[in-house]
Amino acid sequence: MKLSEIAAALDARVEGDGSIEILRAVHPSEAEGPGDLALAMDKALLALLPGSKARAAVVAEGAEVPEGLAGLIVVKRPRFAMAGLLDVFEKPVHAEPGVHPSAFVAPDAVLGQGVSVGPFAYVGPRAVVGDGTIVMPQVTVGAEAVIGRDCLLHPGVRVGERVVMGDRCILHPNAAVGNDGFSFVTPEPGSVESAKATGRVVGTNVLIHRINSIGTVILGDDVEIGANATIDRGTVKATRIGSGTKIDNLVQIGHNVEIGTNCMLCGHVGVAGSTVIGDRVVLAGKVGVADHVRIGSDAVVAANSGVGTDIPPKSVYMGYPAVPRARAFEQYKGLARLKRLFAEVADLKSRVKALDGRDSLPVGSNAAGAPPEGSE
């Protein structure tokens, strides 16, 4: 591929020789020949270019580029350009066409055109798999599940019965979609109910009865689910994940949760049941969200925060419990000042004690117990 063709794919400009043939994109320190394109969009990497064997590089607009390169691609937004570059040089997963002999596909399942089903995969009764979808080894697709076009299910993925997935969804290894919800009830009000209502444990969980989940999970288009992430099906209605939403590894989504479009949920996020999350929300790593909470569109919650109350749209929350960012910073500043405050209080106490000691002396005596000056 010519340097100019790569620039056109990125909507970027070329400086120098656009006819250079590029074979691969590499870190500047790993360039081995003139067919390598050095990715030097970070300022720190520019210093590696003079010693690189690459003849061409990708740099950020306004960068001071060392001399010696035959061609450049100049980009405006490096991180976005990186996404485009990785699309250009993508290395698709290896998937054999058709159904592998060791796979099981139910006789009444429907496979679209160009579907690949890998070794030891299972596609259940009345399941539908859309055109161009890749089902990799040891994937399970439950009965009556519907999977859209051009999806990619990595090894070990579990798609539960009646789950519905849109087009171009990606499920990473061992993701599980359509598990039963963590939903139980006691015959009489139990410890959790009394603790919530009164702050005390009054009830006793003598018997814990399971509440079955007869709902499902519905994923929109272009949803991505990370490795070992889990999404519970709804109790009666569906758990829903909006189009374009990206969910990182080891994320837990509880039953009846509704998540809007183009959200980002980072690693170790946990969302309890019946929570509603708006569009374009970002939950950073290890955020925990309580049940029945509502988070407004375009909100951002910082890492390690605990969300126990509703969050308005377009707000930034942080802390444990999560509060508005400005309030959280005030709290952190207050904590940082505690040591000095304790020292000042201790000093004030010692001064007050000294004052109290002088006030308790006999009338007409000074601090040393001697009579006042001028007395005989």
pLDDT in tens, the chain (376 residues): 999 999 999 999 999 999 999 999 999 999 999 999 999 999 899 999 998 899 999 999 998 888 889 999 999 999 999 999 988 998 889 999 999 999 999 999 999 999 999 999 999 999 999 999 999 999 999 999 999 999 999 999 999 999 999 999 999 999 999 999 998 888 888 888 888 888 888 878 888 888 899 999 999 999 999 999 999 999 999 999 999 999 999 999 999 999 999 999 999 999 999 999 999 999 999 999 999 999 999 999 999 999 999 999 999 999 999 999 999 989 988 888 888 989 889 989 888 988 887 655 555 555 445 555 554 4
Owner of token pair 């569906």: 238
Distance CA 322, CA 355 (A): 44
**Which residues make beta-bridge pairs with 303?**
none
Name the burial class of residue 110, with classes exposed (0-12), middle (13-18) and buried (19+) by CB atoms within 10 angstroms of its CB.
middle
Amino acid at 375: S
R_g of the chain computed on alpha carbons: 32
Residues 159-183: pLDDT tens digits?
999 999 999 999 999 999 999 999 8
Distance CA 85, CA 210 (A): 50
So what's the pLDDT on residue 364?
55
So what's the pLDDT on residue 54?
92
pTM of the model: 0.83
Q: How far is CA 19 from the centre of its chain?
A: 40
DSSP letters of 302-369? -TT-EE-S-B-TT-EEETTTTEEHHHHHHHHHHHHTHHHHHHHHHHHHHHHHHHHHHHTSPTT--TTS
Owner of token pair 């990497």: 45
Catalytic residue among 27, 100, 255, 268: 255
Q: What is the DSSP letter of 196?
A: H
CB atoms within 10 A of CB 333: 9
Name the burial class of residue 275, with classes exposed (0-12), middle (13-18) and buried (19+) by CB atoms within 10 angstroms of its CB.
buried
So what's the pLDDT on residue 27?
94
Give φ, ψ of 107 to 5 degrees.
Answer: -55, -30
So what's the pLDDT on residue 91?
85
- Which helix (H) or strand (E) segment is 86 a member of? helix 78-88
> Is residue 255 flagged as an active site residue?
yes
So what's the pLDDT on residue 147?
98
146 within 8 A of 128, measured Cβ to Cβ: yes
* Cβ-Cβ contacts under 8 Å for 25 (sequence gap 6 or more): 36, 37, 39, 58, 85, 86, 88, 89
So what's the pLDDT on residue 371?
54
Distance CA 256, CA 168 (A): 23
Distance CA 142, CA 338 (A): 57
Structure tokens that stand for 324 in this block? 């508005």
In the chain, the domains with their CATH numbers are 3-88 (3.40.1390.10), 98-325 (2.160.10.10), 337-376 (no CATH)
So what's the pLDDT on residue 376?
45
The percent helix, strand, coil of the chain (3-state, each to 5) is 20, 25, 55
DSSP letters of 125-193? TT-EE-TT-EE-TT-EE-TT-EE-TT-EE-TT-EE-TT-EE-TT-EE-TT-EEEEPP--EE-SS--HHH
So what's the pLDDT on residue 314?
98
So what's the pLDDT on residue 354?
87
